[in-house]
């Protein structure tokens, strides 16, 4: 006798014409329900970041912007006062995600205190929010906690964010996990949203990996060269035969 109360495994969200295990990826982010929020990535604030190199922080943030453009994810960027001492927003975000919506706050430290920002998030229709920003302990933490209270699922991209000390960063991670905010990394977000190499835009995803893991570019180059050599070796006998 079958157990009528047994749950039916969810279908797999990878839709590439291949049968995949039912329920696979059920615990992961679904690209169709994701919005990217980039908070206070201002050049002045970058000078205070001590838990990650500024160059790494910037390239990881730029990768997220490129990923959002590639996958057509909503992007909202914001700053409390871009004309103030915290400096202007890093230009790479708008460069790589020109569709990003910018919300100019009215001085609020917590973006979730700004009505226009909350409205912009609501208008995306997405319930899973990927957040990154500077400082992690403030500019990401405060709206992340409020978003969770409003019913959103929140991921905080730690290496596309920055804090003024290692101690602050450790405290921030502890508070995130206690509150239910999910800490993650730029490369994990990339993999989690990509899900499979069996897709037409695989080459574009591969280029994104070279941003978060530069040595991956060497892997691609060595593979490409090996393929070229193999192709030449295969073609050489045919050329010899034609010349006879």
Catalytically active residues are 139
The two structure tokens encoding residue 84: 């103030």
How big is the CA angle at 171 (ends 58 and 168), to the nearest 5 degrees? Answer: 50
Residues 67/212, Cβ–Cβ less than 8 Å: no
Q: What is the DSSP string of 131-166?
A: EEEBSIIIIIHHHHHHHHHTT-EEEEEGGGSB-SSH
Q: Report which secondary-structure segment, H or E, holds 129.
A: strand 128-133
Other beta carbons within 10 Å of 29: 20
- The span from the CA of 57 to the CA of 172, in Å, is 17
**CA distances to 50, 99, 165, 222 from 47, in Å:** 8, 27, 12, 37
**CA distances to 81, 166, 230 from 86, in Å:** 7, 21, 54
Place of tokens 């390239």: 59
Cis-peptide into 135, omega within 30 deg = yes
């Amino acid at each position: 006798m079958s157990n009528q109360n047994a749950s039916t495994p969810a279908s797999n969200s990878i839709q590439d014409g291949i049968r995949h295990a039912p329920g696979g990826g059920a615990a992961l982010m679904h690209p169709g329900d994701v919005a990217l929020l980039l908070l206070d990535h201002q050049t002045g604030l970058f000078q205070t970041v001590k838990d990650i190199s500024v160059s790494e922080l910037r390239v990881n943030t730029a990768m997220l912007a490129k990923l959002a453009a590639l996958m057509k994810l909503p992007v909202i960027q914001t700053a409390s006062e871009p004309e103030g001492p915290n400096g202007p927003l890093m230009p790479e975000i708008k460069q790589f995600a020109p569709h990003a919506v910018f919300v100019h706050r009215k001085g609020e430290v917590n973006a979730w205190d700004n009505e226009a920002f909350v409205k912009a998030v609501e208008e995306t229709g997405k319930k899973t929010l990927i957040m990154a920003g500077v400082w992690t302990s403030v500019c990401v933490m405060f709206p992340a906690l409020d978003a969770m209270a409003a019913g959103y699922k929140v991921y905080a991209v730690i290496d596309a964010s920055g804090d003024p000390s290692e101690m602050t960063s450790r405290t921030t991670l502890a508070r995130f996990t206690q509150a239910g905010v999910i800490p993650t990394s730029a490369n994990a977000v990339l993999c989690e949203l990509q899900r499979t190499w069996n897709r037409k835009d695989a080459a574009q995803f591969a280029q994104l990996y070279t941003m978060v893991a530069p040595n991956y570019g060497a892997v691609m180059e060595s593979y490409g060269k090996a393929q070229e050599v193999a192709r030449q070796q295969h073609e050489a006998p045919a050329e010899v035969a034609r010349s006879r």
